[in-house]
Amino acid sequence: MKIEFTGLTDVGRKRNHNEDNFATDENLGLFVMCDGMGGHAAGEVASKIAVDRIHAVISKNRHIVDALKEKDTSELRTAVVGLIEKAVEDACAAVYDVAQADSAKAGMGTTLEMVLLVDHIGIMGHVGDSRLYMKRADRTYQLSEDHSLVHEMVRAGKMTETEAHRSPMNNVITRAVGLQSSVKVDTLVFDVLPGDTLLLCSDGLSDYVADEEELGTLLADDKEPLDKLAQRLIRFANERGGKDNITAVLIRSLPDANDSPRVQDVELRIRTLKRVRLFKHLKYKEVVGLLNLTQMRVLESDTALITEGGRDNDFFVVLDGRVRITRDGHYLADLGPGDHIGEMELVTGRRRSATVTTLGKTSVLAIRRSDFIDLLKANEHLALKLLWSLAQTLSSRLDYANAQLSVAMEAQPEDPAPPFA
């Protein structure tokens, strides 16, 4: 995958020094930016320590990244995610140790936004309220999720997005690198498609963007040189007030005709997952994260995908083709693209209650139960959405089963009256 990239930082119109730092390393595939905080230029120290330490840790463990570049497996993706988490944890400990040793730097810390590109795979590391955006085709999506007080209130339903944007507390963050000796890191593995543009930015820019649609208009011209685009983004933030330091790191994946089949495959998977009732409440970035758990299987006609009484617990979404569900040899239903199978086993881990057989050549997306459970443990908000949708799905299926039972009972003749005694 070929890319072009640039990075630019500006002090803004209100500050007298710049506490942002960033680094770009095309050879390593590493792009990172940090927005420091703390008095007496301590924020600048914190962000510099974090950027340098992350670069050092990734460089030292490059063999892990190279292994994924050689062979894309779920195990190697997990290893690279673990490397990113280790790099951020090391950076956190380093910033914290310096702050503890120097009273003038007590309480310093930094936000962090990073992307590690391994061919067509992007892996995000995120702490704080700096942001990662992705422009794909005509839409722009925020892939990171702010660790801020107002964002937590929005998620809890105590504040609207508009109220959060105007709140005087919108820069109060709930998680940062270096405030404690360790920190929880948000990660996301996603496909990078030809034509995608990634933006890593500090809140000195994102605070002035009303929403993803407005940012999309700023990123609309795919042919604009990235250095000119970065300058325009900095100018945009300054013209709207420039109250903070402003940093923008831009990465653009260049079009490649040879990648057309992969693009179509990724787009088909995303469209299919978004049609699944179980995932209807998920944001685009959450669907992208879920996509990383899927494995595609192509089955020939009359192949058993699930066997009644079996112990496997995979969850399946029909991508293309059709399958038939039977129990004890009796027909129950036929399912097609977008339909899903195995949600009960996904949650309970119990034995399979029916047999599922392909009707013609069929493609399915499979999600392992262990991966699904790990996802729920790692993201409580996502877990709530998925479990709520699951409850709705199971309720609908119970209603359907009850209706079918009622029809069957009405079709049976009434029992004859007992003889007179």
Residue range 42-62, pLDDT digits in tens: 999 999 999 999 999 999 999
Q: 195, 223, 255 — which closes off a domain?
A: 255
- Please state at what angle helix 369-378 crosses helix 380-411, rounded to 10 degrees: 130
- Residue 221, both tokens: 């011209």
The answer to whether residue 39 sits within a structural domain is yes
The answer to whether residue 354 sits within a structural domain is yes
Average pLDDT over residues 373-400: 77
Shared domain for 266 and 217, answered yes or no, is no
At residue 416, the pLDDT reads 54
Handedness of CA 233, 238, 241, 242 (dihedral sign): positive
Q: Which residues contact 417 (CB under 8 A, 6 or more apart)?
A: none
Residue type, 228: K
Q: 231 is in which domain, residue-wise? A: 3-255
Shared domain for 268 and 405, answered yes or no, is yes
- The average confidence (pLDDT) of the chain is 89
The answer to whether residue 287 sits within a structural domain is yes
Nearest in space to 174 (alpha carbons), one of 111, 220, 251: 111
Q: 204, 220, 255 — which closes off a domain?
A: 255
d(CA 315, CA 301) in angstroms, rounded, equals 20
pLDDT at 395 over 80: no
Q: Give the three-state DSSP class for 115.
A: strand
End-to-end CA distance of the chain: 88
Q: How confident is the model at residue 419 (pLDDT cuts 50, 70, 90)?
A: very low
Shared domain for 218 and 295, answered yes or no, is no
Residue 245: exposed, middle, or buried by beta-carbon count in 10 A (0-12, 13-18, 19+)?
buried
Q: Tell me: the pLDDT tens digits for 202-237?
A: 999 999 998 899 999 999 999 999 999 999 999 999
Shared domain for 237 and 277, answered yes or no, is no
Choose between 256 and 148: higher pLDDT: 148
The answer to whether residue 416 sits within a structural domain is no
The answer to whether residue 162 sits within a structural domain is yes
Number of domains within the chain: 2
Shared domain for 248 and 278, answered yes or no, is no
The answer to whether residue 66 sits within a structural domain is yes
The answer to whether residue 418 sits within a structural domain is no
Which position has the token pair 């049976």?
412
Which secondary structure element, helix H or strand E, spans residue 81, and what is its range? helix 74-101
Residue type, 97: D
Q: Give the three-state DSSP class for 370.
A: helix
Average pLDDT over residues 348-374: 89
Q: Give the three-state DSSP class for 102.
A: coil
Shared domain for 391 and 290, answered yes or no, is yes
d(CA 285, CA 191) in angstroms, rounded, equals 11
pTM of the entire predicted model: 0.87
CATH of the domain at 355: 2.60.120.10
Shared domain for 380 and 249, answered yes or no, is no
Query: Alpha carbon of 190 to those of 123, 294, 305: distances in Å?
Result: 6, 12, 27
Handedness of CA 87, 64, 73, 373 (dihedral sign): negative
Handedness of CA 87, 90, 92, 94 (dihedral sign): negative
Shared domain for 299 and 368, answered yes or no, is yes
Q: 255, 272, 287 — which closes off a domain?
A: 255
Shared domain for 266 and 251, answered yes or no, is no
Q: Tell me: the pLDDT tens digits for 301-353?
A: 999 999 999 888 888 999 999 999 999 999 999 999 988 888 777 777 788 88
Nearest in space to 156 (alpha carbons), one of 393, 390, 386, 380: 380
Shared domain for 184 and 312, answered yes or no, is no
Q: Which residues contact 418 (CB under 8 A, 6 or more apart)?
A: none
Shared domain for 173 and 67, answered yes or no, is yes
Q: Are 256 and 364 in contact (CB under 8 A)?
A: no
The answer to whether residue 415 sits within a structural domain is no
Shared domain for 17 and 127, answered yes or no, is yes
CATH of the domain at 106: 3.60.40.10
Q: How confident is the model at residue 192 (pLDDT cuts 50, 70, 90)?
A: very high
Q: Tell me: the pLDDT tens digits for 8-17?
A: 999 999 999 9
- Among the residue ranges 112-121, 211-220, 252-261, the one predicted with the least confidence is 252-261
